[in-house]
Structure 1
Amino acid sequence: MSGVLEELAAGASGDTTSWFVPGRIEVLGKHTDYAGGRSLLAAVDTGHTITARARQDRVLRARSEGADGTVAIDLDRPEESAADETEGHWGGYVAAVAARLEKNFPGQVRGADVTVTSTLPLAAGMSSSSALVVGLALALIDLSDLAADPAFTREITTVEQFGEYCGSIENGQSFGTLAGERGVGTFGGSQDHTAVLCGVPDALVQYSFCPVRHERTVGLGTELALVVAVSGVEAAKTGAAREAYNRVSRAVSELVLRWQEATGGREATLADAVASAPDAAARLRELAADDEYLVGRLEQFLTESEQIVPAASDALEEGDLAEFGRLVDLSQAGAESGLRNQVPETIALQRLARDNGAHAASAFGAGFGGSVWALVPADGAEQFAADWSAAFRAAHPDRRDATTAITRPGGAARRVR
């Protein structure tokens, strides 16, 4: 049993619990998780701290020091708080967690006053929203002793399964016998939740999904650092940005549906379809041929998941940073031409990072804004960050709110004592 599940099994000490949940960098694996593909990930050394104090009533009140307003949810009627007043607001994530836990563990979720503090940039592509979902779930499960419930222990015995469950809270799908709820309206997977629950200090972790499977851990030497540039274009997955985000995932659903109708197969994910026969990829190309976007989406998945991620991990393990950089450039090109989820700012940041000497650089996260990571020598990281920022400001003078941060792979979510 993992550390997180051991902590949950032990239960909170008293009526207060506090958890730190890091953000993550998706090094590689753009929109691959919900398709059953693979990703190369790192938790980071910044994140949310979620503190919950039990109340005597069945009201959940949550406030964030980094966002406006207090969210109040009546746990006897949580679905009312998941309605339109939280649409496009951070409170929508709070409402989704509360409604799902109450549905799966009726009458057992304790009222609480929840405070969120954060060192993580919001809507920057570093998974602030999924980290919030994981942190809220950890705090409320801990405070309410839900991990002792047979419904929990029957379905969740590994930290990877807990990551999948948290992903299902966000996307609204069922997880085993734990029935689905409204979610937040985005059709994503469990990559982010897995990264923040399974991150390893000073290393990248490679996972495949649907179900979550650990494939390998790749050390990142202390001579290297990750510099993250936040573009200043908000990488939101709610409100007006939701449809653009969901178009990318719906394309995968359409490919799987076409496969099932044409072959009679029961494969539930794109990765399963690809693995089902030696000629499956060629057959999928034929099935997608009438839709230009589906063609590009399929090629992006095949290249990213089946070729780039494993080859890039090999290159890192062998210390071949030139090959690693070439593969990451190929991933970026797939995001631009296949996913079509990049904006001028993230494209410019990736190019400028490489021009300024980064071993590798790529946009990451949901896309349509957000951030770009760059792998650079640790002893020159500060100068690189300054030069990168100056070059970006010269190219995009209207993005004065763009920022940079130097980070290393950090540890997984953990209780704060």
Structure 2
Amino acid sequence: MISVENAIQTLKKYSKIGTNFVDKTLEKANGYLLAEAIIAPIDLPPFNQSAMDGYGLCLFDDYKNQNEYKIVGEIKAGDTKTYHLKKGEAVRILTGAAVPSSVDTIIMQEKTSLHNNVVTIQEEISFQKNIRLKGEQVKKGTIALEKRTVVNPAIVGFLYSLGIDTVKVIQKPSIGIISTGNELIETGKTLAYGEIYESNSKMLISALYNLKFYDINIYKVKDDYDGTLSTITSSINKHDIVLISGGISVGKYDFVFKALQELNVNELFYKVNQKPGKPIFYGVKNETQIFGLPGNPAATLTCFYTYVHIALQKFAGKINIELPRKKAILSNAYTKKRQRSEFLMAKYNQGTIKILDQQGAAMLQTFAAANALIYIPENINTVEINDTVETILLPL
């Protein structure tokens, strides 16, 4: 059995970085990392552009003493017609419209008055005001976005404005989830005595979707050794990461660990000195990473956020592969019963944190109310009110 810190370092060392690239349309690229830098194919904006509704002026030589300009036309966004203004002339111009080269500055309409086709300027005039210059955001041929940038909605809009609709990204892992247990049945069926509704696989799918991982397949297996062995074998052959829910402990009908041994999975750690989630397994076979997660749902989710999250984000090419951690001031005390690390479901709010009631490996209702986990290392037995504690912020 190893410590939480050693388990995390093992994951960081042995978890795989994805090496395959795939082309994605921008609508489907959100959350992916760019596999290569994006070179701007055009200037942005591609022309001098009006930043607001107003009047474009061709300035007098003594423009500081002249404030009346004759209007000779109008330009709205999308117009291809241009004007060659003479000194003392102006065009009505709207936001987004192309600015003629003869326009020296744009005055917003709120700072003008209009009478008999002559606009009077009611503020001090200066050059190139309210003009977005050609190439101001990015110039053609320069790097618009660096390699490994995470695609987000703003980037989608930015790339479309450059005329780009497809990007090459680092492919995310294919994930198999194996749900084990005779007692598990699907919702919609009537529970018999001793049965429970299966929730762990649905919970893991939701956690994966929340992190923008979508290539997922679900497998269900009863507490049967041959079935467990066959399902794990098939999943390892099909997926980059396999998450096995339940069956990893040492009970009479827990067959997962035995199956992993028979398959010669390279065990990197098995059992971590922590609560909840002690019986967690991590290993590798044929480039596939395998996690044996505890069956209790709160323990499953704790291990997912502490360990699986690292493997997922590293595979996807991320730099920050752990959930963010902060120091917070504790509002209630807690004493551990054993010398082990503990993850406590908690509520974080603006620098303070409260340990929630009903802590336990099966307490999903408590987890549902939490937005953070407090991490108490194994060498600390008691935390008091106003102590500073390490806080792991959950991706809600």
Q: TM-score, normalised by structure 1?
A: 0.23
Q: TM-score, normalised by structure 2?
A: 0.24
Specify which structure has the bigger relative contact order, considering alpha-carbon pairs within 8 angstroms and separated by 6 or more residues: 1
Higher strand share: 2
Q: Which has the larger radius of gyration?
A: 2
Higher helix share: 1
